[in-house]
Structures are given as structure tokens and as C-alpha cells.
Chains A and B, each alone.
Chain A
Amino acid sequence: MAYSDKVVDHFEHPRNVGSLDKSAPNVGTGIVGAPECGDVMKLQIQVDENNRIVDAKFKTFGCGSAIASSSLATEWVKGRSLDEALEIKNTTIVKELALPPVKIHCSVLAEDAIRAAVADLKRKQAGDGKAPQTEKKEEVGA
């Protein structure tokens, strides 16, 4: 399986790797996927007083296409409002990175990560006092 140049580029020089303060009121954190599936993406967004995304960071456990998809996602959300961020479609990611059919699910996960981060931020802003996403949770059920 040959990777597209853009995927290789994002892999060699990933944009915005790192973490923001998940407890900060202007930071939204989205964690999607599961280790058993071989794909886990953490995407964080930071907004200014106008709810415009001014910074974004990601960390991903997954293949080259997954890393590239999430790296690209952090590039694209910067400068957008929360609602504009929700307009990012996985199909656009597929096109930009020239992902083959077998890797389309990586782009879907990246879109989900953006949604999860926005949802987390909106929840915080709605003030329901929900704890930051990355806190330890007990496993529900067996």
C-alpha cells in the first residue's frame, strides 16, 4: 500500500501535536475510537472570547492515515467558529489526503473527533459542570 505524499508529509511533519489544558473553560477535548480497534484520536480546540478556534492540538494512536487525518483536522479547524468546524466533512479529508477506500474510516474518526471536541466545549459553556473528558471512568458493565 503506497501512501499519498500528503499523508507522508503529515506523518513526517505532523501539525499541532500536543495537549491543551483540558480543564480550561475555553478548551474542548474530544477522544474517539478504542485501543482494541487500533485507532484512538484525541483532538482539542481552544477558543477566544468570540468562540473562534484559535488553537488546536491532537494526539493519535493509529496508522499513518489516521495520524494524517487528525493532523489535517487540527489545521482546518483553526480560525473557524464552532459551527463552521462542524461543517468539516470526512469526504473532504479523504480527497485532500487521497485516502484509499480501506482508509476512509480514518477520516470518519477525524470528523468524529472534531464533533466530540466541539460538543465538549459546548457542554462546558452550558455550565453543567461536567468533568473534563480524560478523567478516569469506571467501566460500565462487564
Chain B
Amino acid sequence: MSQVYLDNAATTPLDPRVLDAMLPYLREHFGNAASRSHRFGWVAEEAVDKARRQVADLIGATPKEIIFTSGATESDNIAVKGVAYRHRDKGNRVITQQTEHKAIIDTCKFLEQDGARVTFLPVNDKGRINLDELADAIGDDTVLVSIMFANNEIGTVQPIAEIGRICKEKGVLFHTDAVQAFGKLPIDVEEMGIDLLSISGHKIYGPKGVGALYVRRKNPRVRCEAVLHGGGHERGMRSGTLNVPGIVGLGAAAEFAGREMIVEAERLGGLRDRLWDGLSSRLDEIARNGDAEHCLPNILNVSFKYVEGESLMMGFDTIAVSSGSACTSASLEPSYVLKALGVGEDLAHSSIRFSLGRFNTGQEVDYAVEQVVAAVRRLRELSPLYEMAQEGVDLSKVDWAAR
């Protein structure tokens, strides 16, 4: 078997049907959607309107509430900065949590430099926030709560509807980064009390470089400052010529995902369980990170004790995955998400994230099990920690510095 791609949480391949939908807008239908005076523009505008509807349908919103961006990072920036700046007079506190994507965390840190106060709620050992802690944290000075729908590293799903209810009761806006959940789990912004929501094209078999932000228009009407100025596009919230082909792709991808969502979620969950069962029945001393009960159907994060993540990935190099090891991060820090769960640093270095997708098969999963098991066994033979554990040494009592 050649390369097997199990890193769908990082990005997904373009669905051929999405490419087909996009091509005309890369070729003959090249008009600027803002050109109101000729057919080239009208055709482009129509395509964008259709995409707005396709995205809105998947979350129970109206098309007017969807603005297009360059991706979820930008959507997150608009939601957090836009709301914080707009409501500066009401208060300066934003509440979020410790396992958010950096697009939220870094944006919040930036606001802190500007005088905002940010509360980073802790999570339990499975990655879920505590609803009482959230309710207690919300005060008169709070302008926004931002909690991701589902986590990209461990797959843990937050109690979104309950969070929405608490925010409604307290009269504070609720934003959710739904990048990993969109198209995989049912989302209804009305039922769940969501006021702003970020999504990304390249996580749902659409193109990179495009995303969207849902901004509620009724009960309440959410107002937010723009981050990009220049022309007032997207109701003044996001200036700049629309990426028509990208938007068409995003819309098409959303429609396909919505159509196939229930069946696909079950299929992916089955494959994920097959992967976990395969690994756990053949290897001892491995642990699943996250919440098995409240989890995305396609993500499996496992720590393989005594073996480091980057070397493990080298060991099964025909399989593409991600690791929480420091060696694989640009900052040489181990995963902050696993740290927030209380997973020890040594186990963070030993973690691998498998994220399945539309184009993965049972055969690929079985192959992955085989390859991973072989690599873990081989690397444990190379591991001084495994050797010490076999000898009965309690690794937690070893004084490493004294050597």
C-alpha cells in the first residue's frame, strides 16, 4: 500500500465533485461578484448567493447571516476582535478555554495587550469545560464567550447547547469555533443559542483559503467591527473582493457534507473504533486521550508509553498522522491541549492523533493497525524507558537530573 492519509483534522483532500463545481469560476465565469453592472458580475454574485444558502442550511441559519472570509482563522479573528472592540463600552472581558485553537488563544492574548481581560477556563481530564465554572466566570464586564464546538487534537465535543443556554440567560454573546464539527455533527444555531460561528473550507473536502463566519441578525442582532477595511463588502464586516471559486467550493462542500453527514458519521465512528480496538488488543500500555463518550466520530488520539511520537511516525512512514510531541512542533513545546487535560509531558511526547476521513477505508485502517503495532514494538526494543519499566523500575521515582 502506498501513502495512507489519516491526518484529516489537519486538512482534507479536495472532493472531486467540489473541484467540478469550482472549475467554471476559475475559467469562464471569472467575474467579480461586486460588479453590479454586467453579466460577469451577476453570474459570480449568483454563485456566491447559492453558497451562502448551502452553508446556512447546514447550521440552521439564514443566508444573510453568513459572511465569507479567507478561512477559520480570519473568522475567529473577526468574531473575537470584532465583538470585543464593538462592545468596549459595555465591558472588557472575554471568556474562553485552555484547549482552544491558537486562532482563538493568540487573538485573545493580543486583546490582553490592549487592556482586555481574558479568562481561560480549565478543562477536565477528558477535555470538557465545567458549566458551573463558566456561569460563575460570566460577569457584568463580559462581552463574549468563545468555546470551540469540538477539539481538533483530541476530538472532545463541548456541551454547546448548555453553554448557549447559560450565555442567553446571562445576556452575553456566544461564539463557537466549529471548524472540526461542521459537516460532521448536527448544528442548529437557534436551538443551541449560538450567536457567532466559524467554519473552514479545507476541513470538509473543500479548498484551502476560504471560510465563513455566521453572525446572528435576530435576537439579538450581533454587531462586530471589521478587521479588514476597504469597500465595505460582506455587510461592512469583511472588505475585499470575494474569492468566488473558493466560496463556490465551500458551498458545494457544505452541501455534500450535509447530505452524507449521518451515514458518514456512523461509518467514521466504526472505523475509528476498529482502529482503537486493533491497537488496544495488540499493545499494552497505550492510552486514549479525550472523551470517548463526547467525541468527534473521526478523531483518535493515543499515547504509546515509552515511545516518542516523532520517531513513531518515522517508524510507520507510509501513514500520515500528527503527534503531540515537542519534536514535531515549531516551538519545541509538547501539546498544550494534552497538558490542559493533565496528561503527563512524557505521554504528550508519546501521543499520535489519527483523524479519519471520507476517503479512508477499512483496509487502510487494518493496514495502519499493523504498521503502528510493528513500529511501537520495534521502538520499545530501542527504548531505555521500556527496558527500565520491564526491570520493575518506577519511572515516576527516578531522579533524571542526578545522572
Interface residues of A (CB under 8 A from B): 3, 8, 11, 14, 17, 19, 30-42, 59-64, 66-67, 102, 116, 133-134, 136-140
Chain A min CB distance to B286 (Å): 15
| A19-B387 contact, Cβ under 8 Å, with A38-B327, A137-B398 | yes
Taking a contact as CB atoms under 8 Å apart, the answer to whether A59 and B384 are in contact is yes
A-B contact pairs, 22 of them (CB 8 A): A3-B314, A14-B382, A30-B403, A31-B384, A31-B403, A35-B345, A35-B385, A36-B345, A37-B326, A37-B349, A40-B384, A40-B385, A41-B384, A42-B384, A59-B383, A64-B311, A66-B308, A66-B311, A133-B403, A136-B393, A137-B397, A137-B399
Taking a contact as CB atoms under 8 Å apart, the answer to whether B398 and A59 are in contact is no
- In the complex, A137→B396 CA distance in Å? 10
Give chain B residues whose Cβ lies under 8 Å from the Cβ of A11: 311, 314-315
Which residue of B is nearest A136, CB measured? B393
Taking a contact as CB atoms under 8 Å apart, the answer to whether A36 and B346 are in contact is yes
- In the complex, A3→B310 CA distance in Å? 12
Give chain A residues whose Cβ lies under 8 Å from the Cβ of B12: none
Chain B min CB distance to A5 (Å): 13
Q: Give 3 nearest A-B pairs by CB, closest first.
A: A35-B346, A38-B349, A42-B384
Give chain B residues whose Cβ lies under 8 Å from the Cβ of A62: 308, 311, 327
Taking a contact as CB atoms under 8 Å apart, the answer to whether B399 and A102 are in contact is no
Which residue of B is nearest A32, CB measured? B403
- In the complex, A30→B403 CA distance in Å? 7
Q: Can you list, as one digit per residue, whether each of B390-401 has a CB less than 8 Å from chain A (1) or not (0)?
A: 010111111111
Whether B287 sits at the interface, judged by CB under 8 Å, is no
Give chain A residues whose Cβ lies under 8 Å from the Cβ of B326: 37-38
- In the complex, A103→B384 CA distance in Å? 20
Taking a contact as CB atoms under 8 Å apart, the answer to whether B382 and A17 are in contact is yes
Give chain A residues whose Cβ lies under 8 Å from the Cβ of B309: 38
Give chain B residues whose Cβ lies under 8 Å from the Cβ of A66: 308, 311
Chain B min CB distance to A98 (Å): 16
Give chain B residues whose Cβ lies under 8 Å from the Cβ of A134: 388, 391, 393
Whether B344 sits at the interface, judged by CB under 8 Å, is yes
| Apart from the given pairs A14-B382, A62-B311, A139-B396, 17 other A-B contacts in the complex at a CB distance below 8 Å | A8-B314, A31-B384, A34-B401, A35-B395, A36-B345, A38-B325, A38-B326, A38-B349, A40-B400, A60-B383, A60-B384, A61-B307, A62-B327, A63-B311, A63-B325, A64-B314, A138-B397
Which residue of B is nearest A135, CB measured? B393
Taking a contact as CB atoms under 8 Å apart, the answer to whether A36 and B344 are in contact is yes
Taking a contact as CB atoms under 8 Å apart, the answer to whether B400 and A33 are in contact is yes
- In the complex, A109→B403 CA distance in Å? 12
Chain A min CB distance to B282 (Å): 21
Taking a contact as CB atoms under 8 Å apart, the answer to whether A61 and B384 are in contact is yes
Give chain A residues whose Cβ lies under 8 Å from the Cβ of B290: none
Taking a contact as CB atoms under 8 Å apart, the answer to whether B306 and A61 are in contact is yes
Give chain A residues whose Cβ lies under 8 Å from the Cβ of B395: 35
Which residue of B is nearest A116, CB measured? B403
- In the complex, A84→B403 CA distance in Å? 22
- In the complex, A40→B386 CA distance in Å? 11
- In the complex, A32→B402 CA distance in Å? 9
Chain B min CB distance to A110 (Å): 13
Taking a contact as CB atoms under 8 Å apart, the answer to whether B399 and A138 are in contact is yes
Give chain A residues whose Cβ lies under 8 Å from the Cβ of B1: none
Whether B381 sits at the interface, judged by CB under 8 Å, is yes
Chain B min CB distance to A57 (Å): 11
